[in-house]
A and B are shown apart, each in its own frame.
Chain A
């Protein structure tokens, strides 16, 4: 089955800096790659997603890149703010959604 690896497990940045989280996947049939932000005790919230026919997508301060050949995709957050602090999960879907292990992002004021 699909295996999704996510790094780093924790990431600490200063407000205004950029944050990058990377994921790799194993199933070449995966064609949908969402990123979620989850606050403690809450549901995952979709922040951006990308499909396999696209290499990059941007939405304001958030961008995602996808390298199908290498089977990896990354989340980029620019101009980080304290409210960006949360756990971020990548996921990949072939037949079903498989999540990465999560990254605890802390943005220090």
Chain B
């Protein structure tokens, strides 16, 4: 299957700082990538859909100015959590379909963000 990587796997930052998380498709091109957030013992919640070469589509209740998404190439999408606060501490996971018509999504390994 297709491989999606994320970096970093874990990050700890101070409140008020910004953190960038990278999501890469290693062996395929992804015109669309998805960003999810998962709080402890909860389900995955879609935050936004990242579209290569255009603006991301954000889900209701997700602040686009706080969670900046850039999808500058067909293999890389980045999520920047700006002015992070402790309530942003979560597991962030990206995913991508192997091709635009595919049903199956391939998930990255996730990034554990802890904001002190």
A contact set with B: CB distance below 8 Å:
32, 34, 41-46, 49, 51, 89, 93, 96-102
Contact = CB atoms under 8 A, between A and B. Distances in A.
Given A42-B110, A43-B93, A96-B34, 18 more contacts: A32-B103, A34-B104, A34-B105, A41-B110, A42-B109, A43-B108, A43-B110, A44-B44, A44-B93, A44-B107, A49-B103, A49-B104, A89-B43, A96-B46, A97-B34, A99-B43, A99-B45, A101-B42
User: Contact size class for B?
Assistant: 10 to 19
A89 B42 CA distance: 10
Contacts of B109: 42-43
Contacts of A45: 107
Nearest to B104: A46
Given A42-B110, A100-B43, A93 B103 contact: yes
A41 B93 CA distance: 11
A99 B44 contact: yes
